[in-house]
Structure 1
Amino acid sequence: MIKETILIIEDDVDISQMIEERLLKEGYQVFCAYDGEEALTLFHQQTIHFILLDLMMPKLDGMQFLQEIRKEHTTPVMIISAKDSEIDKALGLGFGADDYLTKPFSMLELVARVQATLRRVSQYQVGEVKQVQKEAEVIKIGALEIEKLSFSVKKNGEALKLTSKEFNILDLLVSSPKQVFTKAQIYEHVWAESYYGDENVINVHMRRLREKIEDEPSKPVYIQTIWGIGYKLGDNL
């Protein structure tokens, strides 16, 4: 049975074909684009459920592509790049990337990440249908207003541009305000897969989340670091 449709945007033909072959074996329908303009055309021509996006692309680079599709679409996007600095920049600009993998990566981990993200999207859509007639739950923490149904966050009435991972991290901490979560627990809750010990994944997302919600990210109030253990919601809110 054909599963969801995945668009691979990667100008290295060997890497693209390697990913394509593995995803086809998993039962996904796959389209490949080798530059940003071709990717944009395919995206608008086909129904795409997930995007694997290299940032260093000819004609239209990955960040330009992501910025363009985010004007109207929330399709999950996972960045694949050999440069940590480029990944960090893409996440930080708030264009809406959902996850990332640094090259080189294992195909096992890539498939696991794709499956986990598509599973979460499916569960969210089912839940959204069931709750569409219910009043949206709004949680107020300090100057933040967190609306779970619409996955939106406001600070002092102004909407914040959080990625899905950033929102889910915040939601996890808010849902259990007195609990201290280890990095492994955060990863397993938010990414819905086993923790591989890559602390940089959590560090990048936590830093970017703090930059968006804190008045002074270097002196966080909303997300408290418990040294040697993990993170928790701030006590003085």
Structure 2
Amino acid sequence: MSDSVLLVEDDRDIAELIRVNLLELGVETIVQDQGDKALKMALENDYSLLILDVMLPEVSGLDICRQVREQKPSQAIIMLTAKSSETDRVLGLELGADDYITKPFSVRELQARVRSQLRKVHVLQAANSADVVDNNGPLVIGDLHINQKNHQVVFQDNELELTATEFELLHHLASHPNQVFSRSQLLESVWGYHHSGYEHTVNSHINRLRAKIEIDATSPQIVQTVWGVGYKFNPQGVEF
């Protein structure tokens, strides 16, 4: 099955630019310029990826992101934001977006972001396939079980509902206990690109992950900050 993208953008020139360049990747792009119609389409159909402009008629891209994330936790989402609007970028990530692209953007940047998200989608699809064989078995650290075969995370006998990106971030950190990763290193390893200025992406995902896995997210014991450097996974935090 080919990949499909629902692009929600009310600027026709930008929408056509994105559609043409995603076509080069072999991606089918469905364009919608009305937020309310786009939300209905996103909830009723299965798309590999949603690309949402923030400012839309009727329903904003941020509202679409929030409602889709609530009903479709694994849906891949990229936000389109104005270069000067840091608030929109941070809010979009906090509402559940996997990544964001600032306008104006380069074709190379656009394609890199989309390829990165589609790669995660393909991994998740493979994980849900009955034909997948997990030769390594789950990663078990204390009371934390991370199963790559079905993208399942269980902590203290409770299954955590993580997005595909949150899962990859946790798995990467837990696979290297006590190793400190900078934000740039995490961008490259988890998101698949290295681009200065996108550290908000890492910070917001760390905060979202902590909210789901830490007993007290304000005093994290599992995913810890190493000030001035980055983040690390503390294995003692999951051993009870």
* Shorter-chain TM-score tier: 0.7 to 0.9
Deviates more, 1:38-47 or 1:172-181: 38-47
Structure with more relative contact order (C-alpha pairs < 8 Å, separation 6 or more): 2
1:66 Cα deviation after fit = 3.4
1:229 Cα deviation after fit = 3.2
1:21 Cα deviation after fit = 2.7
Partner of 2:88 in structure 1? 86
Partner of 1:210 in structure 2? 210
1:73 Cα deviation after fit = 7.2
In the alignment, the residues of structure 2 paired with residue 113 and residue 151 of structure 1 have an alpha-carbon distance, to the nearest angstrom, of 22
8 Å Cα contact 1:97/1:163 also seen in 2:
no
In the alignment, the residues of structure 2 paired with residue 156 and residue 44 of structure 1 have an alpha-carbon distance, to the nearest angstrom, of 32
| Residue 131 in structure 1 maps to residue 153 in structure 2 | no
Partner of 1:220 in structure 2? 220
Deviates more, 1:118-127 or 1:25-34: 118-127
1:171 Cα deviation after fit = 0.8
8 Å Cα contact 1:3/1:29 also seen in 2:
yes
1:111 Cα deviation after fit = 0.7
TM-score (norm 2): 0.78
For structure 2, which runs of at least 5 residues remain unmatched after alignment?
A: none
1:98 Cα deviation after fit = 2.3
1:200 Cα deviation after fit = 2.5
| Residue 110 in structure 1 maps to residue 105 in structure 2 | no
Equivalent pairs, count: 232
Partner of 1:190 in structure 2? 190
Deviations along 1:176-217, one digit per CA (max 9) or x if unpaired, are 213222323211211123x11232322222233223322333
Alignment-mate amino acid for residue 61 of structure 1: S
Deviates more, 1:215-224 or 1:65-74: 65-74
Alignment-mate amino acid for residue 108 of structure 1: R
Deviations along 1:106-147, one digit per CA (max 9) or x if unpaired, are 2211111111221232244335433379997363445x4434
8 Å Cα contact 1:99/1:165 also seen in 2:
no
Give the 3-state SS of the residue equivalent to 1:181 in structure 2. Answer: coil
Alignment-mate amino acid for residue 93 of structure 2: L
Deviations along 1:145-196, one digit per CA (max 9) or x if unpaired, are 4343332334544444433222211111111213222323211211123x11
Matching of residues 167-178 of structure 1 within 5 Å: 167-178=167-178
Percent identical residues: 34
Residues 1:223 and 1:206: Cα distance change in structure 2 (over 3 Å): same
Alignment-mate amino acid for residue 87 of structure 1: R
- The two structures, once aligned, show a CA RMSD in angstroms of 3.2
In the alignment, the residues of structure 2 paired with residue 132 and residue 69 of structure 1 have an alpha-carbon distance, to the nearest angstrom, of 31
TM-score (norm 1): 0.79
